[in-house]
Amino acid sequence: MSYDEARAMVTHYARLGYARHVQTTCATASRVLGNDPALSFWGVFGIVAEGSYGEAITKLEGQLSGGDKEMDLACMACITHAHKSARVVDWEAVGGYETRMASAEKSASNGALVEFALFHHLADGGDAAKAKDTARRVLAMDSSDSRAKTLLGWIELTGIGDDDPNKDDANDAATASADVVFSGNNSRRQRAAKALRVFDELLSSHDLGGDTQIDALVGKAHSLTALSRYDNAVDVMNELAARHPGFAPAASEKAKARLAACDFSGALENAEAGLHADNDDTECHRIVVFLTLTRAGDYALARKQITALTLALERREPRNVKLLVETSSQIARVAGGDVGVLQACGILLEKASALSQKESPVVLLEMAHQLRFLNKTTDALAVYRRCARFANESRDARETQTQRIANSASYGAALCFLRSGELQDCGSELEKLKENGFDQNGVPFLSALAQMQHQRNLAGADETANALEKALSLFFQNVNKLPPAVDFFLAADPDTICRCALLFTERDFTGEMIGVSNGASSSSGRDTKACADSENNTNSVDLDTTRSASPRNSRTLEALCARAPGLIMAQEFLMRARFASGSVDAAQRTAEVLLQLKENHAEAHVMLGRIHVAKGDLDAARRALDAATANDFAVRQKTAYLVVSAQCRAASGDTAGSLDELEAAMSRPGVRVAMKRGTSSVPVSTADRASIFVSYANALHSLHKADEAEMVLDEATSVFAGTTVEIFVMIARCEAAVKRGDDTKALRALASVTPTSPHYPAATMALAKVHLKSRNDPKAFIRCHVDLAEHKPGDVNSWLLLAEAYGTVGAPCESVTALEKAQALTPNDPEIARTLGAACVATHAFQKARNFYELAERLWSEVTVGPSRERSTTSTTSSTSPYGSSPYGKHTTSRAGMRMELAVLYKRLRRFDDAERVIFSLVGSEFGDIQEGSRDDDQAQRLQKNTPNLSSTEIERNVNALKLLCAVKTQRNDQAGYLRALRNVKVFQEMWVQKAQRGLGETSQKFVDSAKRALSKTCAELALRYASFHDLETSLKLYDEALMHDKNSLTIMSQVADLKLNVGDAAGAEIVLQQITRLDAEHETANLMLAELMFLRDDVDGAVFHFRELLTKNPKHTTALAQLAKLLHRAGRLEEIDFFFENAERALGGAQRARPNPGFAFAKGLVAKSNRNWDQALEYFNRCRQDPFFFVEATYEMTEIYLAPFSFMTKKFSTLDANTKKQRAIAAEQILREVSDQRIEPRHTILSAYCLMSLGEAKLLDQAFELCAQVISRDADNAPALLATAACFDLQKLGAKAKAQVKRIQKLPRRADEAEAFESAWLVLAEQAFDAGKVDVAQDLCQKCLRFNKSCSEAWEIMGMICERETTSIDAAECYENAWRHCKQNDPGVGFKLAFVLFKARSMVQCVDVCRAVLQKFPEYPKIKKDIMKKAQMAIKP
């Protein structure tokens, strides 16, 4: 280390109160750098701070006589301080040194004065005010003195040596718990702002000393933290670590800054790095323990870490009482009530007590706090009293600290009395606090808590609950001003917060608890979604009811758990509170979090059982109970376990067993008679007790024990009279009456509840249910809800229930009106705005719906506040580290659902940019820019790195969002974007499968299989898309992956076989088809492909046999009929199709009934097209265009008939006049326009290009070329697109380029789905080869065409031309005859050539017959009559 770093470390440790660290640092620096008077002095200062005053005085007097004038003034001040701090004060010596100091101070140099001022600042004694005065004096003499400026900055920041009564006191953390005085928050922030200006001014100068620079950087970081600018503080500490690597505390200070910034993984990384460099770094040890408790919830590991911390303290700070108490206090606040951790904290306190010279009220106070955390209220009260007595008797302590300790003792005693139910004594302690001027935000909070504890009945309970909520809001407004880490938990007592949440639960949600416990749906469905909203907010606790839709019983608990998800106690209370409020989904998430933190948490398993019962999933409930029993057999005696077990038995028909379980539950302590307060076990809530009574009565009713059931309900009525659950016992009696068929009695009883009764809302809701379910009277049902809304026009829930009721009876417009009134009451509630948006969609008011959804998004953005969020870092920590991220997702269920609905609406309105923006805000902002993808592996690694601990719900949400993005990309015709989104769907589904297989959250094998099937379908869809791009290797790889996840999927296996057939891999296709037929011998698709396989092997008879078998069983299978027509056409045996058409007509009920059948018409159209009967083909295709299944394909077939795209480059097409081409193009364009122009298949784009080419205009040719280029850019080997490009070049008179494109097609492997394009390319090349005299090449190309399509008349025609040139007329006549037969005598040019070669071969009779056939169909073709027919007739005459 350098000298500057050593001095900065000494100052830093002295400021923290680490006396032994100061001594060690000075000794080490002296050994390395040589003796230095300043280091020697500060080393002795450490001895003074540790309490060895005699030894320190001796050493200081020796140094004072050494003659170093720079340190003399500081030495005399330190000697004076040591004398005053000693047990026996030598006032004579004190007077002498004070006189010498006064004299020396007048002539001291600036350096000596700075050391003198620094001592007073760090000693924090009675003369601390001299530090500020002396520093100002130095600056008056030399305004550029950086050390004096730095010292003034620290005085301004800490208040030590200042006159501010609210200055920071290092001991305050040890003396306060939930009673931290907050009134100084504003002044503290003001001081921090002033200090920041001082440090910024210093750091901007160029002549700053090394130690001063370090001290200023640390001061700036602390100032930024006090101002809640946590990210900036982290940046400053990064700069410090980079500039001064020898400054040892940099690691711990950097970790603290990151901890305040909620960068927990970064804080852990820095703390572990600090421990790697120094295994006894106590600050790093404390941070690691804090993170283990608050983030991972691993108490066993924490206990080991506390042991290591204790050993480090013994080695590094063996006599530091303040540090021991502070460490114990910080750990105890986040111990979550764990006995082992609190016992380890108690050991630290015992060490501190042993080191104290006398019994310390500070140590006693913390001991009392920790006894309270252990539920030892009697022992805690005794220690609180001792603490208060010693604090009052203490005369040597500072008055402010003494008063704070006394107030803390009274505060803790009040909480103990409150917990034990001794409310009168609690009130006495509160009166003491008021008399002592305790903080104004603390007493109302406790007072309201005590009043709510006292008012268990209905009278005045609402006002008391509202008062407690208001007091909590004020209390936490101050808590939020503290850094969101250690300081927060020192100020906000988690134990007390949990107590408040329990009281709110019993007050607000007894009804919902009963409803959920009985398996009914929650009456507060809005809360089910909204309760998770505060999971976003990791930095503040928002209790403003106008801004948060989360129930108040869980609002503060959610904030606690968001900041400390490892706090098991808070998670347990949150789980119970959410379930009680009807938020079963949120309760399930919390239970899953608990199980991740502690696998053997029996209560979490039981809670999952209760949740599954509420959802109706009894199998899952039984599995949860089995898991609870496996982890803790004693849980079978718990009340909640017995109730869930009873419900499962009842659902399975074991009513007697259910009754036995409920009888056991009734006999448990705290059910028939409420459990006394202060017991260590979790008490049974009033709502759960009532639920057990009602369930027991229902079980007795089921066993036809009506009298006993009535007795149980009578007992319940007596037990719960005057409580909030009284009405629900009454409702249970009414439901029993309805079951007996006496709904009139139920209606009379419920209607007797008057509007003045506090039970009126619940009774009215029950009355409405009876009207709807039993009487089927929707008007009376609505009238009840209207009465309830009019009874409480200011209650937003009444209007929400009315809106829900209108939706139930199918009145969406009235529902919107009710929701608008609810929104007028709570205009800042985003959930109501979202519900309004959904309601407006139901009424087709899409613009209005969009406005409401956007309002909801804006309101959610305003609700989600906080100075900083946990951010991703480039940490090297493992992504599975429990510290890496909170178990809560950043996006809550409700907000994510709203965004999905908004994106769907934007898609529906064709506002695709807005839809994508919303989807990216839901997914992309969390996991990076998913638009910028490269390879699948890279994308997967990037997403998995950014999403290490997503829950199943979050993964499912992202999958649905990305599927919606796929739909948007499809409508935008963005094929590349569609593919990227689908790849991301696959990545998230893989994560989903991995989580399901590990059993995190869901343990059902059914769920695992479902996740695998979903992943398999996505892989198959991706494979199909890659296959369309001719990426066969990737496609087959994805198909293999799909079959790995769903090995018996016949659909996927069929797709694999079809792909292999398409590329000509007959052997591979046969293997797959055999696998399909082994699983399903009657699989139609497989049998059709087997027929196709036989055709590829020239076994046409075998292929026809397969079709015959299939069509014999199902003659109306028009899809097979169409495929058979194509096969027979390629086999040259199309005439055999007539037999199958006759069978199909008979099966369809005759020719008249078969005629309108779209499938039959489509097959007939294919045959007519193959026969060159264009008009008839157009008629058939047009007939089936009304059918959605055949519409697109029929339209494409008609377009091809008009355009003849595969003959564009042939000689015959060039003979057509331009007007005919244009007319055909216009007709084709009109038909094609009926198909959506947003379709992404290449065929649609290519046909559009041919339409433009047929119009013949130059500028349109350019547009056609661009369309072809679009397809080729996505699929470079698309044969139809390459052929269309060649045709475009040919029309532009660019023959060489056209020929190059056609040759490119020739080099590609043939694909069955692009057969016509390949045949056309081969024929064009054959024509060109024949014209160039390359007869062998032309012949090979024609034979290649005929091998795949024996009906290719153009190939036979070219073969005839070759034979006519090279061989005899007889061979040419045979080829021309095949061409004439396969074109069905519909090509006069072929007929002319056949007649001509027959004439040359002297076959005059046949020649005349051909001529007559041509003239019969084409009378406008007189050339054949003049040139051939007459001559042949003349030759026949004798």
Residue with tokens 């006069």: 1388
Give the pair of three-digit tokens for residue 1133.
């045996």
Residue 452 confidence class, pLDDT cut points 50, 70, 90: low
- In whole angstroms, what is the distance from residue 649 CA to residue 613 CA? 11
755 vs 161, which has greater pLDDT?
755
End-to-end CA distance of the chain, in Å?
A: 128
Q: What pLDDT was estimated at residue 560?
A: 76
Model confidence over 1386-1399: pLDDT tens digits?
888 888 888 888 88
Residue 308 confidence class, pLDDT cut points 50, 70, 90: very high
Q: What pLDDT was estimated at residue 314?
A: 92
Long-range contacts of 1388-1395 (CB under 8 A, 24+ apart): 1388/1414, 1388/1417, 1388/1418, 1388/1421, 1388/1424, 1389/1212, 1389/1357, 1390/1353, 1390/1357, 1391/1424, 1392/1421, 1392/1423, 1392/1424, 1392/1428, 1393/1357, 1393/1360, 1393/1361, 1393/1364, 1394/1360, 1395/1424, 1395/1428, 1395/1429, 1395/1432
Residue with tokens 């580290």: 881
Instruction: Please check the confidence at residue 306 and state whether its pLDDT lies above 90.
Output: yes
1030: left (phi over 0), alpha (psi -120 to 50) or beta: left
- In whole angstroms, what is the distance from residue 1408 CA to residue 1380 CA? 15
Mean pLDDT value of segment 521-550:
41
CA angle, 1403 then 1408 then 1410, to 5° = 95
Q: What pLDDT was estimated at residue 284?
A: 93
DSSP string, 1361-1375: HHHHHHS-HHHHHHH
| Close Cβ partners of 1143 (under 8 Å, ≥ 6 residues apart) | 1111, 1112, 1115
Model confidence over 572-595: pLDDT tens digits?
888 888 887 777 888 888 888 888
Please give the helix or strand (H or E) that residue 1350 lies within, else none.
none
Instruction: Please check the confidence at residue 163 and state whether its pLDDT lies above 70.
Output: no
Model confidence over 396-406: pLDDT tens digits?
445 567 777 88
Instruction: Please check the confidence at residue 434 and state whether its pLDDT lies above 80.
Output: no
Instruction: Please check the confidence at residue 878 and state whether its pLDDT lies above 70.
Output: no
- In whole angstroms, what is the distance from residue 1408 CA to residue 1068 CA? 51
In this predicted structure, which of 147-156, 479-488, 1229-1238, 1368-1377 has the lowest mean pLDDT? Answer: 479-488
Instruction: Please check the confidence at residue 933 and state whether its pLDDT lies above 80.
Output: no
Q: What pLDDT was estimated at residue 561?
A: 80
Give the pair of three-digit tokens for residue 473.
């809001």
In this predicted structure, which of 247-251, 271-275, 928-932, 1062-1066 has the lowest mean pLDDT? Answer: 928-932
Distances (CA, A) of 1123 to 1118, 1164, 1177: 9, 11, 16
| Close Cβ partners of 173 (under 8 Å, ≥ 6 residues apart) | 326, 329, 330, 490
Instruction: Please check the confidence at residue 373 and state whether its pLDDT lies above 50.
Output: yes
Distances (CA, A) of 994 to 900, 942, 1011: 25, 17, 9
Instruction: Please check the confidence at residue 767 and state whether its pLDDT lies above 90.
Output: no
Residue 876 confidence class, pLDDT cut points 50, 70, 90: very low
382 vs 992, which has greater pLDDT?
382
Question: How buried is residue 963: exposed, middle or buried, by Cβ count under 10 Å (0-12/13-18/19+)?
Answer: middle
Mean pLDDT value of segment 734-742:
73
Instruction: Please check the confidence at residue 311 and state whether its pLDDT lies above 90.
Output: yes
* Percent above pLDDT 70 for the chain: 82
Model confidence over 754-766: pLDDT tens digits?
777 767 777 888 8
**AA identity, residue 1118:** T
Mapping DSSP to helix (H, G, I), strand (E, B) and coil, where does residue 524 land? coil
- In whole angstroms, what is the distance from residue 661 CA to residue 13 CA? 63
In this predicted structure, which of 30-34, 122-126, 931-935, 1255-1259 has the lowest mean pLDDT? Answer: 931-935
Residue 866 confidence class, pLDDT cut points 50, 70, 90: very low
In this predicted structure, which of 230-234, 723-727, 1342-1346 has the lowest mean pLDDT? Answer: 723-727
Q: What pLDDT was estimated at residue 483?
A: 65
Instruction: Please check the confidence at residue 309 and state whether its pLDDT lies above 70.
Output: yes
Question: How buried is residue 55: exposed, middle or buried, by Cβ count under 10 Å (0-12/13-18/19+)?
Answer: middle
Q: Please state, rounded to an integer, the average pLDDT across all residues of the chain.
A: 79
In this predicted structure, which of 575-584, 1043-1052, 1342-1351 has the lowest mean pLDDT? Answer: 575-584
Question: How buried is residue 806: exposed, middle or buried, by Cβ count under 10 Å (0-12/13-18/19+)?
Answer: buried
Residue 26 confidence class, pLDDT cut points 50, 70, 90: very high
Q: What pLDDT was estimated at residue 448?
A: 57
Mean pLDDT value of segment 247-268:
86
Residue 310 confidence class, pLDDT cut points 50, 70, 90: very high
Model confidence over 1082-1119: pLDDT tens digits?
787 887 788 878 877 777 788 888 788 888 888 888 88
Model confidence over 771-814: pLDDT tens digits?
888 878 888 888 888 888 888 888 888 888 898 888 888 888 98
Residue 70 confidence class, pLDDT cut points 50, 70, 90: confident
Q: What pLDDT was estimated at residue 187?
A: 72
Give the pair of three-digit tokens for residue 809.
């009876």
Instruction: Please check the confidence at residue 1043 and state whether its pLDDT lies above 70.
Output: yes
Mean pLDDT value of segment 367-371:
90
- In whole angstroms, what is the distance from residue 904 CA to residue 1410 CA? 64
Task: Write down the H helix ranges in 178-263.
Answer: 185-203, 210-226, 230-243, 250-260
Mapping DSSP to helix (H, G, I), strand (E, B) and coil, where does residue 978 land? helix
Instruction: Please check the confidence at residue 277 and state whether its pLDDT lies above 80.
Output: yes
Model confidence over 177-211: pLDDT tens digits?
344 334 445 677 888 888 888 888 888 876 665 56
Please give the helix or strand (H or E) that residue 1087 lies within, else none.
helix 1084-1096
Q: What pLDDT was estimated at residue 1342?
A: 92
Q: What pLDDT was estimated at residue 1214?
A: 57
The per-residue b/e assignment along 743-767, b for 16 or more CB within 10 angstroms, e otherwise, is beebbebbeebeeeeebbbbbbbbb
Q: What pLDDT was estimated at residue 871?
A: 32
Q: What pLDDT was estimated at residue 1048?
A: 84
1100-1113 vs 1137-1147: helix crossing angle, rounded to 10:
10
Mean pLDDT value of segment 607-614:
86
- Reference 198, options 131, 151, 253; nearest CA is 151
CB 514 within 8 A of CB 508: no
Cα-Cα-Cα-Cα torsion 965, 967, 968, 969, nearest 10 degrees, comes to 90
Model confidence over 960-1012: pLDDT tens digits?
888 888 888 888 878 788 888 888 888 888 888 877 766 544 445 667 778 88
